[in-house]
Amino acid sequence: MRKGILTIIFMVVITIVFISALASIHELSKERVMQNAKIDQYKSILYAFDIFPENVDERELGLTATTDDIPWQQDMILKAIENQIRSVKIPVTEQQKELLKNSLLAVKDSVEIFVHLNEQNEVVAYGFPLRGKGLWGTITAFGVISADLQKMVGIDFTEQVETPGLGARITETEFKYFFRNLDLSGFQDKYGQTPPIILVKKKEITNREQSTNSFQAITGATQTVDGVLKMINTDLQFYFNLLLENEEMIKKLLARFSGVVE
């Protein structure tokens, strides 16, 4: 009996020691984890805005490369964000929210829009989160469109649980490259009978070479790519309306910036 009680006490003490140790490690590493998550977010933002380290060409990264393969240094990432990217919060009306009734994008009273400015403080492009449904779960992305709303600058997929080697290939350069210079003029056609962006089985040339409103599918990943297509067509329409209706407000907000990303 005594031996059993001692065993229980020993186990309780060991459990308390390990729990305390894990809790301490968690607290000590929490700030570092949050910092790493922020850096990963910045990497995706810069990639979608088509901003790379000096002397790095996306086409030379390899077809299966991902954002993590870009040779960024942390100080370079922070400097690029500080010098080139701003963010503004834009109010959203109930009427505008109606455009997202078929979307997974969660919008409350406002949305955060990221803005790429050049050295003359002119708007180059707008970036924002996108959200869709894949085969196995939610797909979260960051998309960027040009300041004139005519072309897509880029996209990066920040969260996905798709099948490795199939749907998960949306994170690879080969797939994402088709969104560079994607034609978005269809979003401004109020009476268009076809979706602004379409999917094709095979593209012989990229949209950088010849801009079209289509991107290439991934063989064997139909539901994943269809989810991306629906996400693009639905969420971009919402952002198009938001940007057009708040053009003057965005200009005034950008004019107040001191040069630090919120």
pLDDT tens digits along 141-192: 999 999 999 999 999 999 999 999 999 999 999 999 999 999 999 998 765 6
Predicted local confidence at residue 15, as pLDDT: 74
Residue 106 — pLDDT band, cuts 50, 70, 90?
confident
The residue type of 84 is: Q
Pairing outcome for strands 182-183 and 138-146: unpaired
> In a 3-state reduction of DSSP, which class is residue 262?
coil
Cβ within 8 Å of residue 219, ≥6 positions away? none
Beta bridge partners of 90: 111
Q: Is 255 buried (19+), middle (13-18) or exposed (0-12) by CB count in 10 A?
A: exposed
Cβ pair 175, 66 in contact under 8 A: no
Residue matched to tokens 């329409």: 237
Determine the Cα–Cα distance for residues 195 and 8; give it in Å rounded to an integer: 66
Question: d(Cα 48, Cα 228) in Å, to the nearest integer?
Answer: 15
